[in-house]
Amino acid sequence: MKNAVKRKCGKLQTGVDRRVATDYFCQIMLMRISLIVAILAALGAGVFGYIEVTKQIPQLVQQRDSEHSAKVTAQADASKTHADLTRTQGTLRQTQQDLTKSQAAQKKAEDNADAQTKIAADLTDRLAKVNADLSAKSAELAAFTATGKKPEEIGQMVKMIRDDQVAIQALNDEKAVFVRTIARLTNQLAGLIGTKDYFVILPADLKGKVVEVDPKWDFVVLNIGDDQGVLQDGELLISRDSKLVAKVIVRTVYKNSCIANIVPNWKLGEVFEGDMATPAHPAS
C-alpha cells in the first residue's frame, strides 16, 4: 500500500499543482493509514481484553457464587444466632421471674417460720403459766381438802374474806379522812391559840409539781391537794435539779390541787412550771 501511494505521488510530481496535490493526497493517505492502524490496534486491544475478561469470567462467577454462598451461610448463621439470642432472652426472663417467685416464696416461708416461732414461744409461755396455775390450784385444792370443808363452805368463807377486805379498805379510807380532818382542825386550833412554834405536818412521801406560776402576785398552783394529804398553812419547798428555789405556804386546798403563796424571804430564784414540791415539815 505504501509503494502504491509512492507511485501515485511520483506520477503527480510534474508541476507545482501536482506537487501540492500530491502532498495533500499523501497527507490524506497517511491519516487514513494512521486511522486504520489505530482502529486495528483498538480492535486488537479489544480482542485481547475480551479474551482476558473471558478468561476471568469463570473465576468471577465462581467468586460471586462463593460470596453468595458465604452470604447465605452468614445470613443463616445470623438468623440462627438471633433465634438463639431470642430464646436465651426468653429463658433469662423466665429465670428472672422464677427467681423473683422463689425469693418471694422464701421470704414468705421465712415470715411464716418467724410467725410460727413466735406462736411456739407464746404457746410455751402460756403452757408454763398454765402449769404454774395448775400447780397453785393443786396446792389450794390440797389445802382445801386438808381443811375437811365442803366446796360450798369454802366458797362462803372466800366471800366473807372478800367482804371483810372491802370493809377494811372502806375503814382505812375513812380513817385517812379522819386523820386529815384532825390535822386540819389541829392546825386551825393552833392558829386560834397562836402557838408560835407550831408547824403543819405533812405526809413524808408527799410530792408534787408546779403547774402554774403567777409572778405578779407571787403564788403558784400545785398538782397535789386534799386527796394527797395537803393541809392549809402547810409549808412546801420548791426545788429544781435538787437545788432549793423557794418556800411556799398553802392557802387554799382543793381535791387534787392547791394554791400556795411564795414566802418572800425564801425566794432564792424564779419559780417555773415543772419545779418539784416537797414538805418543809414532813411527818417522821
Q: Along the 284 residues of the chain, how does pLDDT read in single tens digits?
A: 545 544 544 554 445 566 677 777 778 888 888 888 888 887 877 777 777 767 777 777 777 778 878 888 888 888 888 888 888 888 888 888 888 887 887 788 778 777 778 887 887 888 788 778 777 777 776 776 666 666 676 677 777 778 777 777 777 777 666 666 666 666 666 666 665 566 788 889 999 999 999 989 999 999 999 989 899 889 999 999 999 999 999 999 999 999 999 999 999 999 999 999 999 989 87
> How many structural domains compose the chain?
3
The CATH number of residue 219's host domain is 2.40.10.340
Same-domain status, 234 and 267? yes
Q: Is residue 126 part of a domain?
A: no
Q: Is residue 191 part of a domain?
A: yes
Same-domain status, 167 and 218? no
* Last residue in a domain, options 176, 198, 220: 198
pLDDT at 3: 54
- At 222-244, the pLDDT tens digits run 999 998 989 988 999 999 999 99
| Nearest by Cα to 201 from 182, 175, 217 | 182
pLDDT at 270: 93
* Last residue in a domain, options 59, 86, 113: 113
Q: Is residue 133 part of a domain?
A: no
Summary mean pLDDT of the chain: 79
Flag whether the pTM goes above 0.75.
Answer: no
Same-domain status, 90 and 29? yes
Q: Is residue 137 part of a domain?
A: no
pLDDT at 167: 74
Residue span of the structural domain in which 171 resides: 149-198
Exposed/middle/buried for residue 128 (C-beta within 10 Å: 0-12, 13-18, 19+):
exposed
Backbone phi, then psi, for 241, in 5-degree steps? Answer: 55, 45
Same-domain status, 247 and 226? yes
pLDDT at 158: 72
